[in-house]
């Protein structure tokens, strides 16, 4: 596994989109794990605005809040 770090969500989204775009170009993207929350929104926007065809790709949609107790005040339920 290669870990890529970024200073901002925007920078991470741009890098992630470059990877998605390259894998799609090589026809090597079969499954995508899509997370909830605001961090990946820039990535999802770039994907929606692209002309990439995901018709042969499966998504696994993650929701980190399923099965957790309600969040504490000013917390995220962690």
Q: pLDDT tens digit string along 43-73?
A: 999 999 999 999 999 999 887 666 666 666 6
Residues pairing with 32 in the sheet: 59
Number of Cβ atoms within 10 Å of the Cβ of 25: 10
DSSP code at position 31? E
**CA angle, 63 as apex, 60 and 65 as ends, to 5°?**
160
Please state, in angstroms and rounded to a whole number, the distance separating the CA atoms of residues 28 and 49: 20
How do residues 1-29 score in pLDDT, each as one tens digit?
A: 889 999 998 999 999 999 999 999 999 99
């Amino acid at each position: 596994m290669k870990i890529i770090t970024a200073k901002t969500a925007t920078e991470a989204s741009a890098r992630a989109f470059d990877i998605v775009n390259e894998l799609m170009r090589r026809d090597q993207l079969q499954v995508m794990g899509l997370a909830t929350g605001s961090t990946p929104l820039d990535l999802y926007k770039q994907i929606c605005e692209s002309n990439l065809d995901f018709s042969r790709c499966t998504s696994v949609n993650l929701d980190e809040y399923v099965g957790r107790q309600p969040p504490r005040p000013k917390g995220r339920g962690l």
